[in-house]
Homo-oligomer: A and B are copies of this chain.
Amino acid sequence: MHQETCELTTTHRCQTIDVMPQIQRFLAGCGPTHSGILLVFSPHTTAGVMINEKTDPHVRQDILDHMQRLVPADSGFTHAEGNSDAHIKTMLTGVSVQIPVVSGRPLLGTWQTVYFIDYDGPRKRELLLTFLRKGE
């Protein structure tokens, strides 16, 4: 098993970061011949991980805008820190994705990439990459 923590910095309250560069570098370090499952995990309660469209930036913006419609910040929440909307958006998004890897290559579809999504930035954040491979 290989395990690594990446550091990320967000600059807005709600923001997506394409983390494929980090994933590619991590898998290259694991060696090119291994197959298994990659777990991409956000250790936060107000930031998640998703797989979605990599080309048109309008898609990411439409996603963030619609999450704001589904979970408005002023929905009469009771949590004293005032960021319950970010906790709920994180729950709807999920905090991890799992990707099959064959011979060092993540089997993502043509239009897929992996995004870290911050719903309560700007902050310093972390992302855990774990590769559980066959034959260990």
Instruction: Spell out A's residues near B (CB within 8 Å).
Output: 1, 3, 35-37, 39, 41-45, 50-53, 56, 58-59, 61-63, 65-66, 69-71, 75, 77-81, 84, 87-88, 90-100, 102, 107-112, 126, 128, 130, 132, 134-136
**Chain A interface helix/strand/loop/mixed:** mixed
**In the complex, are the beta carbons of B98 and A78 less than 8 A apart?**
no
Instruction: Give A66 Cβ to nearest chain B Cβ, in Å.
Output: 5
Given A61-B78, A111-B45, A132-B132, the answer on whether A93 and B96 have CB atoms closer than 8 Å is no
Query: In the complex, are the beta carbons of B45 and A109 less than 8 A apart?
Result: yes
The 5 closest A-B pairs by CB, nearest first: A43-B109, A1-B134, A62-B84, A100-B130, A58-B79
Please name the residue on chain B nearest to A112 by beta carbon. Answer: B45
Q: Which residue of B lies closest to A83 (CB)?
A: B59
A87 touches B107 (CB 8 A): no
Contacts of A36 in B (CB 8 A): 1, 132
Q: List 23 A-B contacts (CB under 8 A).
A: A3-B102, A36-B132, A37-B130, A37-B132, A43-B112, A44-B111, A45-B53, A50-B91, A52-B91, A56-B79, A56-B80, A56-B81, A58-B77, A62-B79, A62-B84, A66-B84, A69-B75, A91-B93, A92-B92, A96-B97, A107-B130, A132-B132, A132-B134
